[in-house]
Structures are given as C-alpha cells and as structure tokens.
Structure 1
Amino acid sequence: MNWRSKSFLGAPEGAMARSFYKSMGYTDADLEKPVIAVVNTWNTVCPGQYNLRSVAEAVKEGIRAAGGMPVEFGTIGPCDGIAQGHEGMHYILPSREIIAASIELMVEAHRLDGMVLLGSCDKVVPGLLMAAARLNLPTILVNGGPMYPGEYRGRHISGNEVHIALGALRAGKISSEEFKEIENCACPTPGSCTMMGTANTMCCLAEALGLSLPGSATIPAIASQRLQVAQEAGRRSVDLVLKGIRARDIITKESLENAIRVGLAIGGSTNFVLHLLALAHEAGIDLSIDDFDRLSQETPYIASLMTASEYDMIDFHQAGGVPAVMNQLLPLLHGACLTVNGKTVAENVQGVKIKNSEVIRTLDNPFLPTGGLAVLKGNLAPLSAICKPAAIKKERWYVRGRAKVFNSEEELVQAIHAGRIQRGDMLVVRYEGPKGGPGMREMYTAMEMLAGYELAEYVYVLTDGRFSGSNFGGFVGHISPEAAEGGPLALVEDGDLITVDIPHRTLTLEVSQEELERRKQAWRKPAPKIRSGFLGLYAQLVKSAHYGAVLGF
C-alpha cells in the first residue's frame, strides 16, 4: 500500500478522516483501497456536460469492480455556445485556469491517489488536462461524447448554423419561420457540438496524447458504448495507481507532438495551440509555437469535418475516428508513447482501417499536403498569429486589402448589421486579447454573421482575440503581441494595406517603420475594461497567447 492516501488514512492519526468518510457510508474495507477522485463537470447549463452524471456512475462502478474507492466532486463546466456574443465570453478562457486550480485544491487537500476526469467542452477538457499535468497523479480522462447532428431540409447541421441563420435573417435572406425551424432542430441531443470545434478537437487530442482510452473520444453522447467505456476507464484508473503510472509518464514531448500532428491532420480548432502550449507549461515540457508550424509543414490534412466539410463527428466516429487517423499517421508519430490502457500508441492503432474514405483519407491522398493550421509572422505579428487554412479557400490564402479597424467585437457586429462591410475588407478587431479583452474572446458571432450575410469568404478578420473551431472564411487570430501590450495591431489605421500570405507564413502591415514609430509615440494604453473580480486579477497575470495565455505567477 504505497499510495499516498494511506499515509494518513492508515495511521492512528487518520481516525478523524476515517470517521468523516464513514459518516457517508464508506467502510473500513473501502478505506484500505486506493482512493480515486471522480472529477465531474456535470451541470444542466452546458449540453456537453449534461450526460456526465450517468457517465460518473459508470466510472464509479468500474473503480469499485477493480478494487478502488471512488470519491466524487464537481467543478465548473461552462458552455462557450451560450457565452457567445456578449459579456459572458470574457469569462470563458479564464475558466480553464479555475478548473485546473479547483482540481488541484481538492485533490491535494485530501491526498487522493488517482483521478478520472470527466468533461467534454472547449475550456473544460484543457483545464482537466492541465490539472493532470500539474498534479502528476495516475489519471485518465473520459469525455461525454458529441451530440448527433440536426436535420434541416435534407442536410445535417450543427449549433453554429443558428448564428449563420441569424445573419441571414437580418440580411432578409430567410424568414422568421425558417429561422425558428433551424433553432429548434440544430441541437437534437446532449453532447459536445457535432462539428470539429474546440471541444471535439480537445477530446480527440486527449485520446491522441494517450490519456483517454483508444476510440473513446468520438463515441456519441447517447450511445450505450459511452457508459461501457466509462466503466472501463474506472477500472483502468485503479490499475494505473497500482502500477504507479502517472500523468507525466504519458504527457511527454513526444506524446504532445503526436497530439499536435493529430490536431493538424483533422483540421482541429485554432484554440488547440493555446491549450497544448498551456499543457506543456504545466508539465514542464519545452514546447513553442514554432513546433506547431514545423509539424504543420510535415503533416498532411487527412480528415475533413464540419465546418470545413459536410461531415459531422458521428460520421467521423463511424469512419474510424482518432485510431484510424493515427494509423495513417503512424509513420510520422512516436509510436512507442505509453497510453492509459498500458499499451503503446503503435499497439493501439495497428491495423485500424478507414471505413469511409470521404471523411478520412490515406496519407498518400490527403485533402492538403500540409496541416490544417498555420503560424504566421510578420511586422503585424512579430511573435505569432494563427490561422486555419483547412477552413479557408485556397484562392484566399494570399490576400491584400485595406483595413477597417474596430476596438471590440461588438463594434464589428454593429458594422455588419449596418451594411458597412464590403468584400475585400481586412477587418481588424483589437483589444480582445488575453489582457485587453480581458479573456481573449472568440470572434465567433461576428464570423457567423458574416457567413449569414454571405461575406465570410470575401473578407478577413484579423484579431488578437480567438476564433471558434466552427468558423470558416478568412480569419487570423491570436495576433501577438496583443494591442493592449502595445503590439503593432494597436497602430493600424483605417485604409492601411495588409497582406495575408499563408503559403509564405507572413502577416504584413504595409506601413513604413518610421510611420509605425510615429504612431507608437502617440499611442496611449487604454484603461482596463474590467478591474474587479477574477477577470481583474486574470488581466494582470495572464501571458501572451504566444505562450498559451497561461497565468504568469
């Protein structure tokens, strides 16, 4: 019994703790077993977390069956979709830090031996993974699974279709009856949104890392297999404790590179760059944004999913999911990396076949020869910026146009509805970065409105904020240094020429250095938008998106 809970539960001095546990029905026999935390983000606010109550029960059954003592506690699980387009989005990226810290506090205070982490959504899964790396205990992650797609007039749709429809409604392209029909059918079941947004990207990358059971990331939320794999995860968590296999035995530089390659191959959300940088930071692993572009140049894009294509996450699961992608990528992967089922990556994916070649292609017949994301640099992004070529038409990979400048997402949305946006515009949205937002809001609503007005594929949105994995059209985000730090984005003026050159990985403001220096001298840092509460503290501590928007204690 070398697990850490026994350092006090098994000693006479642990009598009070044993007594407290017994008050809830635990027995002396239970208290001789490894104590496994079931960390549950269940709530009835977020559909991605809605089914986790039943998932948690299955996990606990597995823990008990394997000889462990399950103890369950909850933490927050916010919904990016409900928080979109208003003040609530300021709080979403910061929630990642609260999730990680709350798990740290509970697990360390009670000296628990291992963890099963339950979550599905955009900042929830990254927060859980960060806690795993920070605590370095035996850990396994179980997601709740994607929702089924909506059916609208013969085609599959996802939740983001509602915002596109809102733009179309405002533009007079659809009726209010059609709009209501889309609203009512877009999300027919609980689960994470059925496109390759940040939620499903991060669930897939948790599996690619080796912290989730093979094939589990894409099991639909309402499938019976979801509960079966949860029970198996509970059993595996006890085995990890007994064998002393810790999170950082699985989270390594090599497994992070595997996860990055999978994210690039599936056209994952631009946000996964932030989250894997933050995970590496927690694990003490040297990973930089340049690693993402290096791997992107070497990794083909082989799985095309909504919104880059018509295929949803259920299609992806039925086509073979993450194991089929990793089987194709195996020549590029570190196949010897350990996973939570005790096998290596190579052992887990060997022989897995593609079941639908329209969804997943072979390595020698990719959708694109390079990865779904690209890192841009230049005088407008001296550190870095992120774009998603997988969601941008190839003829729009090189664009030159004149700037229209907005100091918030709301200003851009108002301009869209006022008819002030024209094809060819380079729409600069600044003071939305980690510090300036604060909280680095997504420009999701603006992008979906542009799609509704049939403008998304004819303009570029350039921002120090973020984008949703569901966005498509022309967009570059995470521009660093951000405007609030005095980055060049703060110096752009209406009418300036800007060039986006994805093939050459550059983002250029065509203004002389002398003129930029003059503007810099005249620039004054804006007052913080929010001074109080956690966001006030966050704005003081958060680092640049270039470093994963981690807190810089």
Structure 2
Amino acid sequence: MADKTDQPKAQGFARGLTNYGDFDFSLYLRRSFAASMGYLPESLEKPIVGIAYTGSGFNNCHRHFPELLEAVKRGVLAAGALPVDFPTISLGEVYLNPTSLKFRNLMSMDTEEMIRAQPMDAVVLMGGCDKTVPAQLMGAVSADLPAIQLIGGPMMTSRYLREEGEEKLGACTDCRRFWAQYRAGTVDSTEIREIEGRLATTAGSCAVMGTASTMACIAEALGMALPGTAAIPAVHADRLRAAEASGAAAVRMIANPIRPSEIVTRKSVENALRILLALGGSTNAVIHLTAIAGRAGIEIPLEWFNELSETTPVLVNLKPVGSHYMEDLFAAGGLGAVMRELKPLLNLDCMTVTGETLGERLAAETGPVNRDVISPSSDPIEPKGGLVALFGSLAPGGAILKRSAADPTLLEKEGRAVVFSSLEDLSARIDDPDLDVEEDDILVLQNAGPRSPSGMPEAGYLPIPKKLSSKGVKDMVRISDARMSGTAFGTIVLHVTPEAAVGGPLSLVRTGDRIRLSVEEKRLDLLVPEEELERRRTGQSITERDPMTLRGYDRLYAEQVLQADQGCDFRMLQALDKRTN
C-alpha cells in the first residue's frame, strides 16, 4: 500500500496523480494504463523526462524533428530516466494567419499547462522556428519545472549561379533582397521563380541572424540551453549530439534540480540583452525577451535597454547587418566566442542548466576564432549596440530601430509623412504611380499593432514605392506600430507605443505632417502643434477590436494582449507581482 505522505516526493508516473478522490486507486489506474504501452514494470519506477515536441507538417523549420527526438530519447535512456514525448502547438512562421505572434501566447499556455498537468520530473523543450522558442521559454518559466531548451538549428545555405557568378543564398534576407530587385524590375519573373526554389533547401530555421537564430542565442545566453548549441546547423551531426546531451542534462537536473526561476534572473536577462545588441539581432527579440522576463517578474524598461546599447559593441558580421550566415558563426567559434569577447560586461555568476555558472563555462572554453565573422571587442564592427529605443511625442511608450541595419545617412532625418491607415490601404496604394511620395519622405503605417485587427504582423518592412524603387531608391525612413522580420533591413522604426488602434499619437499623423527622427538623441517626434492634435482627437475613431464581438482565443487575445513595451504577453500570464503592480 502506498504511503500518502510520500505523494509530494513522488516522481515519474506517480507524480501529479489524476484526482479520483483516492490516491492509491489513482496510482493503480495510471500504472495499469501505462502498462498498456508496453513498459516493463521497472520502467514505470523511473523518473520521467518529458519532451515537448513541436514537429508539424505546417512547420518546415522542424521537419528534422523526428530524428532529433530519437537522439533526445537516447540521452535520457542512457542517463537512467524514461523519456516521454508529448505534442504541443507548433508555430510555422509563414503558415499562420494573420500572424504567428498572435499564437505565441497560446503556445506558451499549451506548454505551461502540459508541463504542469502531466507526470514529468524535467522537460526538454524542442523548438526552433521564430515563435516556438520564446513560447516554450515563457511556458517553462511559468511552470518552473527543471527545463532545458533544445534548439532545432538554422538551415544551411544554397547556391545560385548567375551571369555575374555564384551566390550563396539563405532564407530570408536574400529572399527580401531579390524580391526588392524584382519589384524594381532588375530581376524578371523567370529568375525570381528560380531563386524561390533555392532560398530554403534544408531543414532548419532561417540561415541568417533572424528572429529564430537570435532567440536561439538568447536561450543559450540566458543559460537555458547547453553551451555551444545555439548555432549548430539543423542538419549537422553535432545537432544530434546536442540533442542527446540535452536529454542527459535533463536527467541530471532531476537529482539536482535547477529551475528556470534560478536561471532567468535580472542578471541573466541583462546578459541576454547584451548578446542581442552584440549580434545586431532581431527587433522581435526585444518583444520576446520582455515577455519571457515578465513571466519571472522582471521588467525590461526601454531606458535600461538603451543604457546597455550605449556600452555594448556590435561584434558579429552576419546578415542582415553583415555578410555571413549562421553556418559561418558556428564554424567561427559560435556564441561562446562572442560571449568571451563580452566577458567584462557580463554577469558571470549566473547559473546555467549544466549547474555551472556562466563564468565557469567561459573560463573552460578556448579555441580559435574567425575574425571575419566575430570581431574582437577591441575592434568592433560598431561601437554601440545594433538596436536602440526611441522616445518622443510620436512614441511616448517607446519604439525600436535596428540601427545596425539602417542607412547611416537617414538616422538624423526630418521629413514629410506619407500615411497609410491600414495594411489594406498600404497594399492598395504603395505601387500606385500617382502616389504623392518623394525619396525624402517618411512612410508611416497605422493600425498594425497588437490590438489592431491585423495582430501586429511583420509588416513594418514597408516596401519602397515602385515609382521610387524603379529609380534606384533602396531605403527610406519607415515608421509603424508593426513588427518586421529579423531577416529584414533598412531604416525602419517599429513597435511604436501606444499603438494607433488604441488612440496612440501614431493614429493622429496625417499625410503632409513633419516628423523628426534623431537616433543620436533617441527621439521620434511629430512636429504638429498640440492644438491641432487635440482637434484631431475630437471625433477620432478607435480601431481596436471589441472583444464582445469575438469568440474563443480571438476574444481572449483582444481582451488580454499588452503593448509591445510589455512583450505583447497576456496580462493574466505575467508573474503575479507584475499583475498586482
């Protein structure tokens, strides 16, 4: 007869029993059903490592996950525990409508609740595509069970032979580069179709420092993934070895628990922010890291972000801000080489999933570094971080600009606004030959934030109007409350907060208004008298959706989603101390 006093100490299949009002019957029933899966009796006594599995036919980034799963299981079994995989939502970036961000919080809830509800002593989180890793980390921080993040890895590049010579191709910076040439008329319809078939030719996430690769690096920098695993290509044998090692590490965390709450701290979040800045990483990572930290009760004020940006150099020469790919970062020394360059700026006492501190990890690492890819801190690519937050009358809650991907000549700019009131308006008019727009103008998109009908898509990378791109114009200042892909580039101001849909100042901009951008002063201002703005507020219609007209998750999203400066998480999912402040 089982001892009821042992229930809190239970492990494996005896953990978290289904409630039938009889503890002994619950255990008896669970064991009998588990036996139907063919487990030996001694297997039922072992601790369990759950494996959050996100393979999906709608997620090309994860098509190698069946093989990766087997490697995780090998590691768990060899270390003496029982691996049990379970499915969760998978978010294939380009397959979701209206945008994958809308479903990140749903996946985080799925992950958290399945970790809580099912009997496991530790969990391996298998993710790779843009929103899967932040969703899994958000859920794991909230559940606070020993967890380790296994990254799926970036895809390898392809080759494309043109008359000018052979080119490397990798999704998705090169996707955008050639699409811009197609729009400008320098690439024809036949060539763009040939390029389309060569941009993404292996399993894995985007080959550049886009959102997926940035979040992989952030997971490692936080200490939630094994050292040296962020940059391994998806199809490399080392990726399978990393999977096996992750399974074994999860088993070790059962006997000596290391919980996400011990790893995701203010100090480790600061480390992750510095890594983001040194990489010139994705603007989306600001939203995701803010949401992850928010689950631990840690705020990321954009003023703090700017303080770190002023003292963190850009060290990594990867597209979209440089010339190399993730496979090159892996060969050049990986994230460990970047962290060793930043060592004087990092909090070295932060705990990691291995049980070592970051300082202990870096002290043990050595090896050659390819300086074409990873610059020394003494000779950085840029002396300040790749991203910067802007404030001002147009963005009182802040906005984000990726200065490392911008045209330096546009970072101090005053110009006339050309306004698009929605994504539909943008699509209808951007290529109209009669559009009143000049190269020195500033393009503005409204109503594309998290509470808008579009749900904050990656639409901030506004196309250059065809009448200008056909004349050779490659960049303009573009401003919106939307996001943009981490693979994109240009002088683009994003995440303007408060967004237009809730009546933020962005909603008051009209074509012909003057806007001033100053990255040096970290300002974004609408140069319109307050009396005129007040007049425009009178009778202004708010475009955020009424939750009472919606149903299901769509209604929950409309009711709960926060602004970009709070990570676009749901208010109810933040740490309790944040929700009560």
- Please indicate the TM-score interval, normalised by the length of the shorter structure: over 0.9
| Contact 1:458-1:473 at 8 Å conserved across structures | yes
| 3-state SS of paired residue (1:48) | helix
Q: 1:60 aligns with which of 56, 73, 76?
A: 73
* Deviation sequence 1:33-72 (CA, Å, 0-9, x none): 2111100111122221111111111101111111111111
Q: Find out whether 1:549 has 2:568 as its counterpart.
A: yes
**Structure 2 partner of 1:237:** 250
Q: Superposed, which structure 2 residues align to 1:76-475 within 5 Å? A: 76-83=89-96, 88=97, 90-153=98-161, 154-160=166-172, 161-350=174-363, 351-353=365-367, 355-419=369-433, 420=435, 421-443=437-459, 446-447=462-463, 457-475=474-492
* Closer/same/farther in 2, CA of residues 427 and 132 from structure 1, 3 Å limit: same
**Structure 2 partner of 1:50:** 63
| Contact 1:36-1:71 at 8 Å conserved across structures | yes
* Closer/same/farther in 2, CA of residues 333 and 151 from structure 1, 3 Å limit: same
* Closer/same/farther in 2, CA of residues 12 and 528 from structure 1, 3 Å limit: closer
Letter of the 2:381 partner, please give it. Answer: F
* Closer/same/farther in 2, CA of residues 268 and 449 from structure 1, 3 Å limit: farther
* Deviation sequence 1:461-504 (CA, Å, 0-9, x none): 11111111111111000000001111000000001111111111
| 3-state SS of paired residue (1:490) | helix
When structure 1 is superposed on structure 2, of 440-449 and 494-503 the one drifting more is 440-449
When structure 1 is superposed on structure 2, of 372-381 and 314-323 the one drifting more is 314-323
Letter of the 1:545 partner, please give it. Answer: A
| Contact 1:422-1:455 at 8 Å conserved across structures | no
Q: Distance in 2 between matches of 1:320 and 1:267?
A: 17
Q: Give the drift of 1:545.
A: 0.7
**Structure 2 partner of 1:489:** 506
Q: Distance in 2 between matches of 1:305 and 1:413?
A: 31
Q: Distance in 2 between matches of 1:42 and 1:175?
A: 36
When structure 1 is superposed on structure 2, of 445-454 and 506-515 the one drifting more is 445-454
Q: Distance in 1 between matches of 2:16 and 2:58?
A: 38
Q: Give the drift of 1:449.
A: 8.1
TM-score, normalization: structure 2?
0.90
* Closer/same/farther in 2, CA of residues 452 and 250 from structure 1, 3 Å limit: farther
| Contact 2:451-2:544 at 8 Å conserved across structures | no
When structure 1 is superposed on structure 2, of 443-452 and 345-354 the one drifting more is 443-452
| 3-state SS of paired residue (1:342) | coil
Q: Give the drift of 1:249.
A: 1.1
When structure 1 is superposed on structure 2, of 298-307 and 20-29 the one drifting more is 20-29
Structure of higher CA gyration radius? 2
Q: Distance in 2 between matches of 1:240 and 1:127?
A: 22
Q: How many residues align?
A: 548
| Contact 1:447-1:471 at 8 Å conserved across structures | no
| 3-state SS of paired residue (1:417) | coil
| 3-state SS of paired residue (2:186) | coil
Q: Find out whether 1:505 has 2:517 as its counterpart.
A: no
Letter of the 1:472 partner, please give it. Answer: F
| Contact 1:47-1:190 at 8 Å conserved across structures | yes
Unaligned runs of 5+ in 1: none
* Deviation sequence 1:282-304 (CA, Å, 0-9, x none): 11223323221111111111112
**Structure 1 partner of 2:576:** none
| 3-state SS of paired residue (1:489) | helix
| Contact 1:402-1:497 at 8 Å conserved across structures | yes
Q: 1:536 aligns with which of 546, 551, 555?
A: 555
Q: 1:524 aligns with which of 541, 544, 548?
A: 541
Q: Give the drift of 1:540.
A: 1.8
| 3-state SS of paired residue (2:553) | helix
* Deviation sequence 1:330-356 (CA, Å, 0-9, x none): 100011111112222122223434522
Q: Distance in 2 between matches of 1:371 and 1:454?
A: 32
